[in-house]
Chains A and B, each alone.
Chain A
């Protein structure tokens, strides 16, 4: 179980670190055990930053990331099992592998580094088992990453993650660089891994069909904030936030949006620059996520009014 508790991430730039970029702002979210959660939003909405915070690649500027109730602020103090419980894959799988090492070594290295399987025979056995899981032939172990296709390398990146026996896999745009047929392959694989190992998946993507094919719940991000959370049915059939509605309409090719205004509003609602419902209240106060259904939450001052007609 992964919990974000009022997590913010601010990047500082420039001389004297004066320029602030708020990537993620005050996010509270619970990802349940064995759940596939889809995180959606435009590029720059903070969804990748949230993924990196979950992985511990970034530390929150405020708030806490907790795994099984324990803070991940000091990873080193955690037992190894908890430390390795969250693993990730990214949209560029070639970045995972050093082009000068053979795949066999690249897969064995984390096992050696973390002292998981010291016996070479055991290690090889485990790697072979994992290769079967991802449908790869054993001869790939002797190859270099450059000799393999993008889809194959993405599967191997997944294998490398699986060797750590993760409880949650953060998949950040795992298929954006891949062709449709390869995408189908990877998505099937993620689904099977989820079913066989019980690992949860935090699937980060802006592709609606990809997310709905896998996820049970969806979180929509905009301008660093979580603007709507709900089950796939809640979102697809009953989206209440104006950005979610626009996003869905565009994905269904029913809306023809103009170039959007920037989401950089330091106060008030992040979406008010583009919102058709905007009122004075929106500039004064930033909306909290309010419940509108059993698992459905919307960050809009007028969500209940819209819901009730």
Chain B
């Protein structure tokens, strides 16, 4: 199966010569045309690094190995500069600081139109249409205002409008629900779902919000310490997930038991160099797990698990 985005054997390391553990390790991932994939993991799992690698926004100190293909073309910095903001967009995580505070909203939106070579006389209308598409009340008042005059929810919608305006084929949404109360959270999730389904775009949702992942995506990839440990259809996550880490993550939610994961195998390092990276916390751990690195193996249709014991 050839996808819109294909990642082969990607390893990303910060700092020089592997002084630090890689943030992303030998990762393979395919996102099909119109597929909605959620990458779920806790802080430090490498999901933001993965998003920034795809967008080419990593600092120069990061060392990237592996290949990324977009629509069959291998991504290089030059190609990325062409497709960024047009074919691939990022909906940024930090709503409060992702708009330039000293430029008006209209000014910032117009810059996108300049990049898209929209003639000047059509720009004003296009901007208003974008703002309407994210259902901002009184859209005509927005272009003249500055970011500090808008509420957090309005800023998030402006960023969404800017991201989706040029009908990209792939959208990366970085933690769109972080820190939101239920009313705002559902508001933005519902809007995102409608916009994406309307245009049949592909989505990579980066989140730690499992419920948001189930709500928005078809497929969920669980990341742990830079690796994908399980890929599962969203509808099957709650009842059919198999990897011990996925199960622990689900059980930690207050409504699903509030269980605290603890170190089951005290002798094992929590960042092992060989073997399975979850060994220290795993209730299924066997001696082979400490030596042999498990591969991501298929267990059912659309369901893959990285475990020596289960798969």
Contacts and interface: CB of A to CB of B under 8 A. Distances in A.
Do chains A and B interact in one complex?
yes
Interface residues of A, number: 34
Contacts of A255: 183, 186
Interface in A20-44: 41-43
Contact of B211 (A176, A181, A213, A253): A253
Contacts of B190: 256-257
Contacts of B259: 184
B183 to A, nearest CB: 5
B56 interface: no
Interface in B243-260: 248-249, 252-255, 258-260
Contact of A42 (B181, B211, B248, B254): B181
A185, A261, A262: residue with the most chain B Cβ atoms closer than 10 Å = A185
A247 interface: yes
Given A180-B42, A212-B254, A258-B187, A185 B260 contact: yes
A213 B260 CA distance: 14
A259 B182 CA distance: 12
A209 B254 contact: yes
Interface string B109-148: 0000000000000000000000000011100000000000
A247 B182 CA distance: 6
Contacts of A43: 152, 179, 181
Give the interface residue-count category, chain B.
20 to 34
Nearest to A262: B151
Contacts of B62: none
Interface string A220-259: 0000000000000000000000000011101101011111
A256 B187 contact: yes
A256 B151 CA distance: 19
A185, A248, A253: residue with the most chain B Cβ atoms closer than 10 Å = A253
Nearest to A179: B42
B181 to A, nearest CB: 4
The 6 closest A-B pairs by CB, nearest first: A209-B254, A206-B181, A256-B190, A179-B42, A251-B182, A250-B182
Interface of A: 41-43, 150, 176, 179-181, 183-185, 187-188, 206-210, 212-213, 246-248, 250-251, 253, 255-262
22 contacts: A41-B181, A43-B179, A179-B42, A179-B208, A180-B249, A184-B258, A187-B254, A188-B260, A207-B254, A208-B182, A209-B253, A213-B254, A213-B255, A247-B181, A250-B186, A253-B211, A255-B183, A256-B186, A257-B190, A258-B135, A259-B187, A262-B151
Interface of B: 42-43, 135-137, 151-154, 157, 179-187, 190, 208, 210-211, 215, 248-249, 252-255, 258-261
